[in-house]
């Protein structure tokens, strides 16, 4: 049985994957690649991935959001918390249009830098 976003089993829905795909050092920066739905059900995994990256004391923290399909307010809050804790600041790279809109509607894009690609965010 697969539990989708709202907790009701749905036949044929793909299983929920881990939201944190990878955490990689790139020079003195750290790139955290996230994917799928980022929501109340996995926000603690997102927080843990971001906290582990921050513990490395990167010059900047880049969140690769190219594969993120949905983000709710709890996950947006996790990004804001990580931004506050990271001395080098947090940059979001490659968000799809729905994620970019969520960042704009919430006003988070005024506090976090949003880039079109990971390479741009690392530059």
108 neighbors 79 (Cβ within 8 angstroms) = yes
List the 113-115 sheet strands across, edge first: 20-26, 29-38, 61-71, 90-93, 113-115
> Which pLDDT score, from 0 to 100, does residue 17 have?
79
The dihedral formed by the CA atoms of 94, 80, 16 and 51, expressed in degrees to the nearest 10 = 100
CATH number of the structural domain 20-122: 3.30.750.24
Q: Which residues contact 42 (CB under 8 A, 6 or more apart)?
A: 16, 18, 19
**Prediction pTM value:** 0.86
> Which pLDDT score, from 0 to 100, does residue 66 have?
98
Q: Which residues contact 72 (CB under 8 A, 6 or more apart)?
A: 38, 39, 40
Q: Is pLDDT above 50 for 6?
A: no
**So where are the chain's domains?**
20-122
Beta bridge partners of 115: 93
Q: In 3-state terms, what secondary structure has residue 59?
A: coil
> Which pLDDT score, from 0 to 100, does residue 11 have?
53
Q: Give CA–CA dist 26/4, Å, rounded.
A: 34
- pLDDT tens profile 42-93: 999 999 999 999 999 999 999 999 999 999 999 999 999 999 999 988 999 9
Crossing angle of helices 43-55 and 73-85, in 10° steps, is 10
Q: Is pLDDT above 50 for 9?
A: no
């Amino acid at each position: 049985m697969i539990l989708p976003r709202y907790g009701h089993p749905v036949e044929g829905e793909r299983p929920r994957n881990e939201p944190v795909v990878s955490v990689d050092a790139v020079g003195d920066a750290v790139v955290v690649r996230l994917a799928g739905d980022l929501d109340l059900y996995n926000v603690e995994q997102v927080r843990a991935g971001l906290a582990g990256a921050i513990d490395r004391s990167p010059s900047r923290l880049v969140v690769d959001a190219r594969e993120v399909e949905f983000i709710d307010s709890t996950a947006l809050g996790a990004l804001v918390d990580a931004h506050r804790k990271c001395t080098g600041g947090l940059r979001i790279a490659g968000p799809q249009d729905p994620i970019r809109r969520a960042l704009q509607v919430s006003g988070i894009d005024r506090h976090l830098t949003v880039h079109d690609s990971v390479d741009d965010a690392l530059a």
